[in-house]
Chain A
Amino acid sequence: MSEPNSLNTSLKRQIFPLAALVGQAELKKALLLAAVNPLCGGVLIRGEKGTAKSTAARGLTEILPPITAAVGCPYGCEPDKPQTWCPYCLARGDKNVWQEKPRPFLTLPLNATEDRVAGGLDFEVALGQGTRRNNPGLLAQAHRGLLYIDEVNLLDDHIVDIILDAAASGFNTLEREGLSVSHPAQFLLIGTMNPEEGELRPQFLDRFGMSVQVIGEKEPELRVELIVLREQFEADPEGFRARYLEQTETLKEKVIKAQHFLPMIEIPERVRKFMAQIAAEHHVAGHRADLFLEQAASALCALNGRRILSEAEVLEVAPLVLAHRQRESAPPPPPPPPPPTEPPEQPEPEDSDEKPQEEKPDEDRPENKEPPEPEQPEPGDQPEDPPDRPELPPLDPEGLMEQIFEIGQTFKVRRIDTAKDRLRRRGSGRRSRSRVSQKQGRYVKSGPDDGLGDIALDATIRAAAPYQKSRTCPPGLALALEPSDIRSAIREKKMGHHLFFTVDASGSMGARGRMAAAKGAIMSLLLDAYQKRDQVSLVSFRRNEAVINLPLTTSVDLAGKLLAEMPVGGRTPLSQGLAVTFREVKNVLVKNPLARPIVILITDGRGNVCLDGRPDQNPLKEAWTLASLMAKEHRVKYLVVDTEEASLVAFNLAARLADALGANYFKIGELKAQTLLDIVKQEF
């Protein structure tokens, strides 16, 4: 096979020259810095779709300065660092022939399996020559070069782990299939992502030295220029590239010159302090930022052809290095007002006058005093119909006021629980013996035979290959397999979770914009669910009963729509809500025993209607008993979001309920992401 993964000439023709890219100054700067200084930690390109993210990243290949490596060395070892040499270079010692070669630029596709990333036994060699040889993976090939990952946020966790491991130590160690290899793997990560598709893990994010946020150009002139250039390029790629050849070469020379300058850059003590200060001021997590800041600033200094690093250069690169590391600069919100940053524009209950409003004076809760006057109390109504028509005056013996609140402000939800994450990988990651066929999911690596029949043949061959000398082959086959060679595929499939939202829609939720805040919180969770491809279900309870507004579906959109229309009013049949939800959860568990549903209960916990619809028993106690029964189902994870505002007369009933459920308990204000590590602030 030819040079693996190299973009051969014909494919190279498709590269749009970096020099021809319209606008995107920050992006080009970051890429140049990365080209000059391999120590500045790579670039993460974030941006909406269609903003030339990938185009720019691939254009980088053409301006990379060459490296010097030994002829025949599979790992591209550095000539002046003999202590890191691979066995091949070590064995040849002085006999190594050093030669310039292009700096590696490797593409890590999302379909990559472990053996191609980290390396593995080359079975062709093993079968043909009977020797064990490592088939270097992408990490080896990318040593001293760049590893490019398109849509990096969609990469499998498992592959991310391998990359993180190598990035942290600078070495990739392989202990498998009878191989024991360790080789240097220092590479720059270049990644592109669209944040709409989910965020990166903080740890992974941290590995990127710089990040750039790209947005579409706002000037019509530039947009037109872009259309025209694109058209010219597509009509005649080669001619187009030829026209930019000179500019590309100039850029490349600039990079080579700067690289030459780089070791000579001096950093005055004053500037060093300045860098530390900047990092500290921006509440940056960890010390890696300081390091990257120094390297990036030095690279810029070298590009500018200067010897001594100045504050101006530090300031210029600071946004690139710091933006994605910044922690939330504001201290955690003070406890007193639970929805602290809710916008003031939430509709007050009073002003939604177009909705039917009615109420009996004997209402259940003290804070229900403020709702408007009862208007048209009439008997007989259909309690089912969630978005009640205004024409049908909703009414029941309790009386109720019914309103539809707008969705309050949404926010980034914090990761609900790390344990959840691990469960996901285990529950869905492996072959699920449930109704789905076993061979679904992405094959990421192999393990010992698990007897389920999903054989990873490539791994099996690798396992068998070294023993072929001592075995006799069946006729017509190239190798003899024995049962001990069998390897099974380990597949990862992100199935997402089953999320059940159980929402208290009783009258007490109408007070003081609580429902708006709650809807905001649910919406945020829904957005989170959307990114993680969860299935969601919506149950609401009010008046005398609980209703399944939305059976389990992947259409988070629909859930959002229903949520917006959900009316509020009436008493609080908490037990009903719990019971209906649990029935749904049970259904899921029957169908899919490996599922790990999550129930998110949004309530103030003030149940006042029993299961039989009568308010006079002890509805709270009933709900708690029910809750403790539900807690016995260990496969279900519960989350209680308390909507009660902190005040002198807080009842903390939701907390008690959470206790009974064994649930995680949050005040509604606490749902926000504590560390905004994963959100890059638009403005620095």
Chain B
Amino acid sequence: MKQSIPVYPFAAIVGQERMKQALILNIINPSLSGVLIRGEKGTAKSTAVRALAHILPEIEVYSPDPFQLDPQSEADLLAELHLALGLGMAAPPKPEKRKIKVIELPVGATEDRLVGSLDLERALKTGEKRVEPGLLAAAHRGILYVDEVNLLDDHLVDVLLDSAAMGVNTIEREGVSFAHPARFTLVGTMNPEEGELRPQLLDRFGLCVNIGGILDLEQRVQVLERRAAFEEDPELFSSEWQAESEKLSDNIQKAQKLLPQVKASPELLYHIARFCLEVGVDGHRGDIVIYKAAKTLAAWNGRTEVTKEDIEAAAELALPHRLRRQPLQAIADSLDQVRKAGPKL
């Protein structure tokens, strides 16, 4: 009863290497704060995000705990937050391991479901004022996935920005006043034909990939074959890919362990700073994300030293959506466009 809806295996997705890479980097290093996937319809955007479920690593959480607190660093919050919910501390929840969750934010969600609200049942039954945590609490330390993120209601975007900014969700509504940590990896997919994202929200996505349909004939055939096989017998198909998925999952965990040891020479840091200055990036988040992504890439490739190539690949993922654009100008598809316009890396 673990997975009622069959999920297409991540490892079986044909092509779209950059998208897969961006997603994997975000799993290895959640502080990259997410990825935006832009592409036409039918390019396996949503499939890829949902397929992550197969390869996500485990984290330590309390059970039960609606706030997904980290027993290592947030233990002191547990009692406070649980008391606010009216959960007794008679039987303190025990830490246990589970897979990182992908929380889906539907485009039509209401604000109170997103941020949390007054627990109505409790208010009516006992007259007590208690918090009912929302999706942001569930997404803490996990992945918050928004399909068609450009169609998200404006006021939801505002709220999302508000809590994404500092990793804290503050609730001041319906008589309750409450704050809890909410640090999540924001993953969004969108079809640019339906309108663009607001600049501030765009900036919250650490990485951004533009994907198109696959043009290679053989690969297209492969897509068809695998899709057909999956639809015929999802379980069989998944089990066929089981080994691949596990390998991927292992590699991710290895990279996670390696990541703290990855170093970059000061020269390369200057390289990043100068490049960002030259191509014209707003603010500093671009610099920071390139650096983090480059380190993560190095770890993914099993190295402890960041190379120039890592930085270039990272810039490719971190910069296109951050470049200072003329108003209403389209987002660059790749850094090549940027390079054409600006100085070379």
Contact = CB atoms under 8 A, between A and B. Distances in A.
Contacts of B124: 457, 461, 477-479
A203 interface: no
A549 interface: no
A8 B170 CA distance: 12
A120 B158 contact: no
Contacts of B247: none
Contact of B166 (A6, A54, A127): A54
A458 B285 contact: no
Contacts of B110: 439-440
Contacts of B200: 49, 151, 194, 196-197
Interface residues of A, number: 90
Given A154-B158, A196-B199, A8 B80 contact: yes
Contact of A113 (B173, B193, B274, B284): B173
A458 B158 contact: no
B175 A457 contact: no
Nearest to B274: A220
Interface in A202-261: 216-218, 220-221, 223-224, 226-228, 230-231, 234-235
B310 interface: no
Interface string A429-458: 000000001011111000000000000111
A541 to B, nearest CB: 23
Nearest to A439: B110
Interface stretch (A82-90, A419-427, A554-562, A640-648): A554-562
Given A1-B84, A223-B277, A49 B282 contact: yes
Interface string B252-288: 0000000010000010011011101100011111111
Contacts of B171: 109, 111
Interface residues of B, number: 77
B123 A123 contact: yes
Interface in B108-125: 108, 110-112, 115, 118, 120, 123-125
A227 B127 CA distance: 50
B249 to A, nearest CB: 25
A49 B203 contact: yes
B88 interface: no
B323 to A, nearest CB: 12
A331 interface: no
B265 to A, nearest CB: 11
Nearest to B282: A48
B283 A49 contact: yes
Given A123-B123, A220-B274, A10 B155 contact: no
B328 A557 contact: yes
A110 B158 contact: yes
A10 B77 contact: yes
Interface stretch (B11-19, B91-99, B176-184, B231-239): B176-184
Contacts of A109: 115, 159, 162-163, 169-172
B126 interface: yes
A575 interface: no
Nearest to B69: A10
A494 B154 contact: yes
A414 interface: no
B177 A557 contact: no
Contact of A50 (B76, B170, B272, B286): B286
A197 B327 contact: no
A527 B328 contact: yes
Interface in A532-557: 533, 553-557
Interface in A472-527: 476-479, 493-494, 523, 526-527
Contacts of B174: 113, 115-116, 443, 456-458
Interface string A135-154: 10010000000000011001
Given A50-B282, A223-B273, A526-B328, A443 B173 contact: yes
B287 A223 contact: yes
Interface string A26-54: 00000000000000000000011111101
B172 A116 contact: yes
Contacts of A479: 124, 127
B284 A216 contact: yes
B227 interface: no
Contacts of A441: 155
Nearest to B181: A11
B115 A111 contact: yes
B129 A124 contact: yes
Contacts of B31: 234
Contact of B127 (A5, A117, A123): A123
B74 interface: yes
Contacts of B178: 1, 4-5
Contacts of B167: 14
B279 to A, nearest CB: 13
A7 interface: yes
Contacts of A122: 129, 175
Nearest to B155: A442
B112 A443 contact: yes
B125 A478 contact: yes
Given A123-B129, A223-B277, A49 B175 contact: no
A150 B330 CA distance: 28
Given A5-B179, A51-B283, A54-B165, A111 B77 contact: no
Interface in B134-180: 153-155, 158-159, 161-163, 165-179
B195 A555 contact: yes
A462 interface: yes
B276 to A, nearest CB: 7
Given A14-B167, A224-B273, A50 B175 contact: no
A638 B203 CA distance: 36
13 contacts: A5-B177, A10-B77, A10-B181, A49-B285, A50-B322, A150-B162, A151-B158, A224-B266, A224-B273, A443-B111, A458-B123, A527-B328, A554-B195
Given A58-B166, A116-B173, 9 more contacts: A5-B177, A7-B168, A8-B76, A109-B171, A113-B173, A123-B175, A154-B161, A197-B199, A479-B124
Per CB-CB distance, the 6 closest pairs between chain A and chain B, nearest first, are A50-B283, A50-B285, A127-B127, A478-B127, A223-B273, A4-B177
